[in-house]
A and B are shown apart, each in its own frame.
Chain A
Amino acid sequence: MIFWPAAALAFGTTAVAITRANPVHALLWFVVSLIAMALVFFALGAAFAAALEVIVYAGAIVVLFLFVVMMLSLDRAASSREKIWMSRPVWIIPAIFVVLLGAGIAWAVFAQTHLPPMPGRAVPPAEVGLRLFSTDLAAVELASLLLLAGLVGAFHLGREPR
């Protein structure tokens, strides 16, 4: 099975990513996590989603993130500052809280939900594509509008003040 190792990899690399002092390192770990996630998608039969994950998320979004972080030109002083900020006590309360939340959600979803078992189905990309161009056409148009809004906003906010 591809699923279980991929899942473990995704989880592990994400955990590592959030504990790095250097943002570039963290983002690179995140990329590995995303590729592992693509494998998970593939194992679930969602080939199209797997492809998109690699191309768009890992290939565009995180790359954009990396570009900007590079622009910040963080030096050694910055990363030592990060280390100070990341001291042990800082993690305690968020960790407790997160565990509580997780336990609650897990119990609510897994223990309380009683769905009849259904065999899963791998949905081929052809089907997804057909849906996108027929019934979910509006969603595509709205998504493009959203991207336009993001573009315009980023352009405007990025301008130097006169």
Chain B
Amino acid sequence: MTGFLWLVPALPLLGASLLGLLGRRLPARLAATIGAGSVGLAALVTTAIAIGWLTHPPASETYIQPLWTWISLPGFTANFALYLDPVSLLMTLVITIIGFFIHLFSTEYMHGESGYSRYFAYLNLFVAAMLLLVLASDLLVMFVGWEGVGVCSYLLVGFWFETPENGGAAQKSFIVTRIADIAMLAGLLLLATSFGTLSIQPLLADATAAWPSGTFMPALAASLLLIGGLGKSAQIPLQTWLPDAMAGPTPVSALIHAATMVTAGVYLVVRTHTLFQLAPAVLDAIAIGAAATILVAAFAGLAQSDIKRILAYSTMGQIGYMFLALGVGAWSAAMFHLLSHAVFKALLFLSAGAISMRLHHEQNIFAMGGLRAELPVAFWAFLLGSLSLAAFPLIDCGFFSKEFLLAAVWHASPLLWAIGLFGAVLTAIYIFRAVFTVFFGDIVTETSGSYGPRIILPLAILGFGALTVGWLETPDFLGHFSILSGFLTPATGAAQHPAIPPLVPLAGIAAPFAGIAIAYALHANGFWRRQAAAPSLARRIMQSAFGFDAAYRALFVAPFLATVRALRHDPVDAAFVSLETLAIALHRRLRREQNGRLRRYAGWMMAGSLATLALLVFA
């Protein structure tokens, strides 16, 4: 069954090609069928492969399907091959299954939009590129997928390109990630020239043999790859593009900016964790940066009024948690939170889309209110997602993944654990601020329309996932299931489960309650609504996420544009033109001497002869 691995990225690619070439001539239903169907088939194939894997795992817990030789030079070879191991199998399941449900949701959400088939073409292409990214056995092939998802993100964020702001948001996301990708490319080149291959497993083995831990070279290579990952995952300092990327359609935000593309950075570090282990300083930097991102994102989330921007900042923060786990070496914890986050964040985004599609695409939470009774499906879906995000005990997956994660962080650094806990409290506050504002209180905007099955089914499935996925990995006092970490062990190494003091889980249980209580108190007080109407300085600082955009504009964009403006009239060319101008001016002056006057001519001739004489005599 694993022999059909190549079908998994090929099916969405086929879908994208068909829709790209013929899409405009196809009826909408057929386009939807091709779009959702290709990903659905890929999901089925993946599930079959997974079942086969679980029942009869291959010998070394890895499976390589070579496709063709891409580059073959003396000193460097790159093979196009697919590499399946527990980590990539998990990622593939997430991408195809959640991707399928998001495609299904889109068929109704995007109904009637112009560019319907273009949407599915781009979305299919994205899924194909993302699958290539996670299934690549060679970093160069991964980079192809990496750039592919970047392009598709650009195309989809700027889907409604008739509005210039959307184009600007798309450009911003592409340019920021491109800058990060340049660093990543530098890292790839460094590795390629050092070892002559970018095939992941051999590369990591060579690196471990050649580079001692803690030296400069692995730190440099790891840092460069990390920068690429930070950009794609919207972490500090390359995080500014994610909130603006919410300009794209909501299902796009659900798929790309929650479940899959932004997790590519996490996947990259997990995939090459052997290299990162050779550079402990880089891992420390990852942890510190992640802590900063968690705090910035949490404070920013408290001050947003657009529901999608709240969710965007929460994505930024949750991926910060994943990077925090990576920084302390807890690879399985990061992957578990990745899985859990993919489920509940997709749920949150899709339910936000479901809400806004019934309110004429309103997205300001303060224009919503009391929708609990009007939109029960959306309410329960969003509530379940919010509980997961806040890590409410027991009933949701977010609790289990965050517990696992914070327990691992505690052992590395209690300070980082404290920051993570504080971030969890703030997370609970801001997401329940949204819950209370949107679903409780008085109705502000009337709803219209209704939901079809293609909206309800994905929400239901994702809700079910949010309820159950958590039980794959539970703490000691709840059964000590370690299904997931056991599954991932061959790829990530054995997960540590050392003893933790009771404070840690207790604080983890108390945090969401505290957050929900604070959010409710301030909601009943009307504090949130007052702040939105007349923002204080603190709120404005938080809303701009501590001014990164303004800082980058002043530091990079403004000087660049000023340079462009200064060079617009080609000053270098002006230096040459000045010669021309000088020659013309001289010519004009000398022209005046041609006045036709005989005596003048004679005088000048004699003057010339005097000069020549002087030259001959004195020189």
Q: Which residue of A lies closest to B611 (CB)?
A: A104
Task: State whether the Cβ of A107 lies closer than 8 Å to any Cβ in chain B.
Answer: yes
How far does the Cβ of B272 sit from chain A's closest Cβ, in whole Å? 86
Asked if B617 and A108 sit within 8 Å, CB to CB, the answer is: yes
CB of A131, distance to nearest CB on chain B (Å): 32
- A106 and B159 CA atoms in complex are apart in Å by 91
| CB of B607 closer than 8 Å to a CB of A | yes
Are B607's CB and A107's CB within 8 A?
no
The secondary structure that dominates the A interface is helix
Question: Is A101 in the interface zone, CB < 8 Å from B?
Answer: yes
Chain A residue with Cβ nearest B610: A101
With both beta carbons as reference points, the residue of chain B lying nearest to A111 in the complex is identified as B617
Q: Which of B576-611 contact A (CB under 8 A)?
A: 603, 606-607, 609-610
A69 to B617, CA, bound (A): 42
Residues of chain A within 8 A (CB-CB) of B607 are 97
B606 touches A97 (CB 8 A): yes
How far is it, in angstroms, between the C-alpha of A101 and the C-alpha of B610 when the chains are bound? 6
- Min CB–CB distance B303 → chain A (angstroms): 86
Residue of B nearest to A107 (CB): B617
B618 → A minimal CB distance (Å): 10
Q: Per a CB cutoff under 8 Å, which of A97, A100, A107 touches B603?
A: A97
Instruction: Tell me the minimal C-beta distance from B597 to chain A in angstroms.
Output: 14
Contacts of B179 in A (CB 8 A): none
Contact residues in B for A97 (Cβ distance below 8 Å): 603, 606-607, 610
| Assembly CA distance A118 to B617 (angstroms) | 25
Chain A residues near B617: list those with CB within 8 A: 104, 107-108, 112
Q: Once the chains are docked, how many angstroms separate the CA of A66 from the CA of B382? A: 123
State in angstroms the CA–CA spacing of A100 and B614 once bound together. 10
Across-interface contacts of A158 in B (CB, < 8 A) = none
B-side contacts of A100, CB under 8 Å: 610
Please, which residues of chain A bring their CB within 8 A of the CB of B614?
104
* Contact partners of A107 in chain B: CB under 8 A: 617
Q: How far is the CA of A107 from the CA of B614 in the complex (A)?
A: 10
The yes or no answer to A94 lying at the interface (CB within 8 A) is yes
| Residues from 69 to 109 in A contacting B, C-beta threshold 8 Å | 94, 97, 100-101, 104-105, 107-108
Proximity bits, A128-160, B CB within 8 Å = 1, else 0: 000000000000000000000000000000000
Residue B613 at the chain A interface, CB threshold 8 Å: yes
A142 CB to closest chain B CB (Å) equals 26
The CA-CA distance from A30 to B613 in the complex, in Å, is 29
Q: Closest residue to B599 on the A side, CB-wise?
A: A94
Assembly CA distance A47 to B310 (angstroms): 121
A interface list, Cβ under 8 A from B? 94, 97, 100-101, 104-105, 107-108, 112
